[in-house]
Amino acid sequence: MLHKIKEKGLNSNQLKLIAIAAMTLDHLTWTLFPGYSTEWFVILFHIIGRITAPTMWFFIAEGYYHTHDIKKYATRLFILAAISHFAYNFCFGIPFIPFRTTVFNQTSVIWPLAWGLVLLYINDNNSFKQWQKTILTLLICVITFPSDHSCIAAMAILHIGVNRGNFKKQMAGMMLWTSMYALVYFLFIDKVYALIQLCNCLTIPLLWLYNGERGTHKGIGKLFYVYYPLHLFIFGILRVILWGIEFVTGAAN
């Protein structure tokens, strides 16, 4: 069962622009208020930022089913992941070489997004036996664990894609994986920000409005490929001006 076309609602371009705006606010807040600030407005801005990741997960899964060339799609994402690694780490004061500070948030969310796409391909490829799919899924979880949103992003994409056409199952799975991410946050990072992760649920009413259409402008997807690393690089310059080149923000989503 495919996503039903609605006469009214929001198209993918509109939802992606909302996600980009929320992401920008979230990243700017991390830059201006590094660490796990408990100021009410900082928490509010980060809550708004929770709209972004699930929207990305949803449209990676949608893109998988709409693309005419999965290899080109995956290649674009992995190239973006490579570029974004340096932009993300520069923005948040994280060493370019992983694991010098921690095992968490060593590269951007684009890395697990790309691997989430690969998971969908593996799941649908009948040339793999089930045990091979299981092993490959576990390996991808290990590979994506150190990134922003960790392997949770890749697994959420897989769940959303597998349950395409059943919105309730898609969102239930998304919140299940989000809850696991929040638990890791609660145990190892910060308890307040663990609760903020659960605000991914704010994405559900927005995605429910998705009308199944792309919109009139074809360049929104390409805009994101440029905007994502560019805004991180600009915020990185701002971070250096405010806090110095060696300052590590501890930023995480």
pLDDT tens per residue, range 97-120? 988 888 889 999 999 999 999 999
Is residue 199 in some structural domain? Answer: yes
Tell me how far apart the alpha carbons of residues 203 and 13 are, in angstroms, rounded to a whole number: 15
Maximum pairwise Cα distance, the chain: 53
Structural domains in the chain (count):
1
Find the Cα–Cα–Cα–Cα dihedral 172, 177, 179, 184, rounded to 10°.
180
Is residue 176 in some structural domain? Answer: yes
Domain that holds residue 79: 12-243
Q: How many CB atoms lie within 10 A of CB 140?
A: 20
pLDDT average, residue stretch 21-44 = 96
Is residue 44 in some structural domain? Answer: yes
Quick check: 214 pLDDT over 90? no
Concatenate the DSSP letters of all residues of 10-35 into one string.
B-HHHHHHHHHHHHHHHHHHHHHS-S
Is residue 100 in some structural domain? Answer: yes
Is residue 60 in some structural domain? Answer: yes
Residue 33's identity, in one-letter code, is F
Q: How many CB atoms lie within 10 A of CB 205?
A: 9
pLDDT attached to residue 235: 97
State the number of CA atoms in the 13 A half-sphere of 131 facing the CB.
0
Is residue 235 in some structural domain? Answer: yes
Is residue 2 in some structural domain? Answer: no
End-to-end CA distance of the chain: 33
Quick check: 238 pLDDT over 90? yes
Query: Is there a contact between 35 and 249 (Cβ–Cβ < 8 Å)?
Result: yes
Which pLDDT tens digit goes with each residue over 54-82?
A: 999 999 999 999 999 999 999 999 999 99
Is residue 248 in some structural domain? Answer: no
